[in-house]
Structure 1
């Protein structure tokens, strides 16, 4: 059950998958010309709820640029883990850059309050 932000205000620990936003945009390419993309994952919970164990649908995600596996890593096909499973505080975010010839269609699959 998803609650409206107004209904969550001040209620401890209530959050939903809709509180996790994922933005992706193209950035300057690597020196060898491979396109790069910046990804930002935000916890927009209006209360005091931290969101963790965030999984992202990511296909066969790979990158020509090294990504810290504690920030983002593929566990299996279409399942990537954010922030090593640790919680992101309300209003907080995690970001990383990857390089590939095309952008992956990333989307939030799940998270836990």
Structure 2
């Protein structure tokens, strides 16, 4: 595994956040659902806050707790209400839409 690119002195980088998502059982209405897991895999034991994802016009037919995940504006979604995701921690949610949204980390804050 390659060492993530780090700026000298940084304790973490956006490559320390790993996103996995995959299909789950559809809603009774037949709308596909997906489970998303967002993990802090920082090797230096860091907590990471202010996790923003590129997410397009993300929307869901299933309500998502906005403290877990919310779209702020086009292509900007906030994870965990901006609070730190502890080292080794995972936050997950499910959404329902006719297609899977590509999600990737756009910015983080090392804490």
TM-score, with normalisation over the residues of structure 1?
0.88
Distance in structure 2 (CA, Å) of the matches to 1:4 and 1:87? 22
Query: Following superposition, which runs of at least 4 residues in structure 1 exceed 4 angstroms of deviation?
Result: none
Query: In structure 2, which of residues 97, 102, 106 is the aligned counterpart of residue 100 of structure 1?
Result: 97
Look up the match of 1:111: 108
* RMSD over equivalenced CA pairs, Å: 1.6
Equivalent in 26, 29, 37 of residue 29 of structure 1: 26
Unaligned 5+ runs, structure 2: none
Which residue number corresponds to residue 54 of structure 1?
A: 51
**How many residue pairs get matched?**
105
1:74 aligns with 2:71: yes
* Aligned match of 1:45: 42
Deviates more, 1:12-21 or 1:36-45: 12-21
TM-score normalised by length of structure 2: 0.90
